[in-house]
Amino acid sequence: MSTLADSLFGVIENRISPIAARLSSQRHVVAIKDGFIASMPFLIVGSFMLLFSHPPFSQDSQWGFAQWWLGMVKQYNDQLMMPYNMTMGIMAVFITGAIAYNLAQSYKLNGLMAALLSLMTFLVVAAPEKDGALSVASLGGEGIFSAILISLYCTEVMHWLVKYNIGFKLPEQVPPKIRQSFDLLIPIMVIFLTLYPLNLFMESHFGLLIPQAIMSVFAPIISAADSLPAVLIAVLLCHLLWFAGIHGAAIVGGILQAFWLSNLGLNQEALNAGQDIPKIFIEPFWQFFITVGGSGATMGLVILYLRSRSAHLRAIGRLGFVPGMFNINEPIIFGSPVVMNPLLFIPFITTPLINAVIAWTATRTNLINHVISLAPWTTPGPIGAAWSTGWDWRAVVLVAFLICLSTLIYYPFFKLYERQLLAQEEEMAQEQLAEEMK
Partner 1 sequence: MVKILLCCSAGMSTSMVVQRMQKAATQLGLEAKIDAVGMEEFNEKIAEYDCCLLGPQIKYKLADFERQAQEYHKPVTVINTMDYGMLNGEKILKSALALIDANKGA
Is 120 among the residues that bind partner 1 (CB under 8 A)?
no
- Please list, in sequence order, all residues whose beta carbon lies within 8 angstroms of the beta carbon of residue 331, skipping any fewer than 6 positions away: 316, 319, 320, 323
**For residues 152 and 333, which CB has a smaller minimum distance to partner 1 in the complex?**
333
Quick one: 267 exposed, middle or buried, by C-beta within 10 A (0-12, 13-18, 19+)? buried
Of residues 184-223, which lie at the interface with partner 1 (CB under 8 A)? none
**For residues 190 and 315, which CB has a smaller minimum distance to partner 1 in the complex?**
315
**For residues 50 and 313, which CB has a smaller minimum distance to partner 1 in the complex?**
313
* SS3 call for 136: coil
Q: Vertex 324, ends 323 and 328: CA angle to 5°? A: 70
Neighbours of 364 (CB within 10 A): 12
Query: Which one of 22-30, 112-120, 204-212, 405-413 is the stretch in contact with partner 1 (CB under 8 A)?
Result: 22-30
Is 102 among the residues that bind partner 1 (CB under 8 A)?
yes
* SS3 call for 130: strand
Is 105 among the residues that bind partner 1 (CB under 8 A)?
yes
Out of 328, 346, 353, 400, name the contact with partner 1 by CB under 8 A.
328
Out of 12, 20, 88, 395, name the contact with partner 1 by CB under 8 A.
20
Is 30 among the residues that bind partner 1 (CB under 8 A)?
yes
Nearest distance from residue 53's CB to partner 1, in Å? 29
Q: How far apart are CA 373 and CA 383, in angstroms?
A: 13
Of residues 237-256, which lie at the interface with partner 1 (CB under 8 A)? 242, 245-247, 249-250
8-state DSSP, 370? P
Query: Which one of 193-201, 209-217, 296-304, 312-320 is the stretch in contact with partner 1 (CB under 8 A)?
Result: 312-320
Out of 335, 352, 380, 384, name the contact with partner 1 by CB under 8 A.
335
Rg (CA), the chain: 26
**For residues 68 and 334, which CB has a smaller minimum distance to partner 1 in the complex?**
334
- Please list, in sequence order, all residues whose beta carbon lies within 8 angstroms of the beta carbon of residue 369, skipping any fewer than 6 positions away: 277, 363, 389, 390, 392, 394, 395
> Per-residue string for binding with partner 1, 402-421, x by CB under 8 A?
--------------------
**For residues 267 and 327, which CB has a smaller minimum distance to partner 1 in the complex?**
327
**For residues 338 and 399, which CB has a smaller minimum distance to partner 1 in the complex?**
338
Nearest distance from residue 275's CB to partner 1, in Å? 35
Out of 188, 230, 306, 315, name the contact with partner 1 by CB under 8 A.
315
Is 330 among the residues that bind partner 1 (CB under 8 A)?
yes
Bin 70: left if φ > 0, else alpha if -120 < ψ < 50, else beta: alpha
Q: How far apart are CA 89 and CA 137, in angstroms?
A: 9
Query: Which one of 196-204, 220-228, 334-342, 405-413 is the stretch in contact with partner 1 (CB under 8 A)?
Result: 334-342
Nearest distance from residue 193's CB to partner 1, in Å? 33
**Cα 78 from chain centroid (whole Å):** 29
Please, what's the largest Cα pairwise distance for the chain? Answer: 95
Is 179 among the residues that bind partner 1 (CB under 8 A)?
no
Residue among 379, 361, 357 at smallest CA distance from 370: 361
Long-range contacts of 77-84 (CB under 8 A, 24+ apart): 77/53, 80/49, 80/52, 80/53, 81/49, 81/50, 81/53, 83/45, 83/46, 83/49, 84/46, 84/47, 84/49, 84/50, 84/53, 84/268
What are the residues binding partner 1 (CB under 8 A)?
17-18, 20-21, 24-25, 30, 33-34, 37, 102, 105, 242, 245-247, 249-250, 315-316, 319, 323, 328, 330-337, 339, 378
